[in-house]
Amino acid sequence: MEHVLRQTWAFVFRDYHMTRRYFSWVIVETFYALVGSVTVALIGVAAGSYQLTLMLVVGVLLWNFLSRLFQEISNSISYERWEGTLEYTFMAPVSRLVHLFGVSLFATVYSIIQLGVILGGLLLLIDINLAGANIFGIMIVLLVSSFAFIGLGLMAAVLPVISPERGAQATNIFQGTLLLVSGVYYPVEVLPSWVQPFAVLSPATYALSASRKLMGINESAEASGRLIGAPLSAVTHELLILALMGLVMIPFGLWVFGRVEMWAKRTGKLKRTG
């Protein structure tokens, strides 16, 4: 167990130092995410609707966290290609489960830190009172939904292995599709009828629905400006679906990654740097 923990920490430590090396990129990405989040939230302020503002704030916060988690995991292979270490990592005597767990652990911590920065910026630039919201419940939703997005990230991480030149761009298409169908900035009901069924396949749909209930976004919030967050028991349905998605997607993502890794080793794709 100690050996496994040391190997896991090694991957966390490696990703930490890689982030330090490209810290200017981190600043730019975080600033862009903050400005984009504030811009979206200000639409609700401009409309004079407190309920709309809260709905948009929950959407931008949750999506920034989940999409960053997804990106950090799915792009981990692209980073290794840039550094020229992909072949060495795949040939090292380290379990792929340990490797991907270390990558996922760092991605989770990194996403939480960026979420805190964006939340602080929103509170500084927009007049929002979170008193009355079930913040603890929302944290539980974020934790449970993280597993499903980790599984999605593992599946998307195989794309740069398959195609060094176009794989990273393909992950953006995957992420954009999730953004479209999940109702991040609008109710799912406004989507075309033939698109709406795809919303049930996205874990973000359930995470957003649960978070907005726990935040207390309803007519009383619009009228009084006060939040009355729902108890955690009110989102049991969403939590169960998210937990089931995580239980299915993480093993499936590991299985897909393992099959693609074997194919890449057999065909010599690891040596290609794009």
pLDDT of amino acid 272? 53
pLDDT tens-digit readout, 14-70: 888 888 888 898 899 999 999 999 999 999 999 988 888 888 999 999 999 988 888
- The CA radius of gyration of the chain, in Å to the nearest whole number, is 20
pLDDT tens-digit readout, 83-137: 777 777 778 888 888 888 888 899 999 999 999 999 999 989 888 877 788 889 9
pLDDT of amino acid 274? 46
CB 118 within 8 A of CB 60: yes
pLDDT of amino acid 120? 92
Predicted confidence band at 271 (pLDDT cuts at 50, 70, 90)? low
Cα–Cα distance, 140 to 145 (Å, whole number):
9
The segment with the largest mean pLDDT, out of 75-89, 137-151, 255-269, is 137-151
pLDDT of amino acid 225? 57
HSE-CB for 154 with a 13 A CA cutoff: 30
Q: What is the mean pLDDT of residues 160-182?
A: 81
Cα–Cα distance, 241 to 273 (Å, whole number):
39
Long-range CB contact pairs, 245-248, < 8 A, 24+: 245/147, 245/148, 245/151, 245/203, 245/206, 246/144, 246/145, 246/146, 246/147, 246/148, 246/150, 246/151, 246/203, 247/147, 248/151
pLDDT of amino acid 67? 87
The answer, yes or no, to whether residue 264 has pLDDT greater than 70, is yes
- Centre a 10 Å sphere on the Cβ of residue 88 and count the other Cβ atoms it contains: 11
Record the tokens describing residue 206, joined without a space.
């359930």
The answer, yes or no, to whether residue 5 has pLDDT greater than 60, is yes
Which residue blocks in the chain are alpha helix, DSSP H? 2-21, 23-46, 50-74, 76-83, 86-91, 96-125, 135-156, 159-162, 167-181, 203-215, 219-224, 236-267
pLDDT tens-digit readout, 181-234: 998 998 899 999 999 999 999 999 999 999 999 988 765 555 555 677 888 899
pTM: 0.85
pLDDT of amino acid 140? 94
Burial of 166 by CB count in 10 Å (0-12 exposed, 13-18 middle, 19+ buried)? exposed
pLDDT of amino acid 25? 87
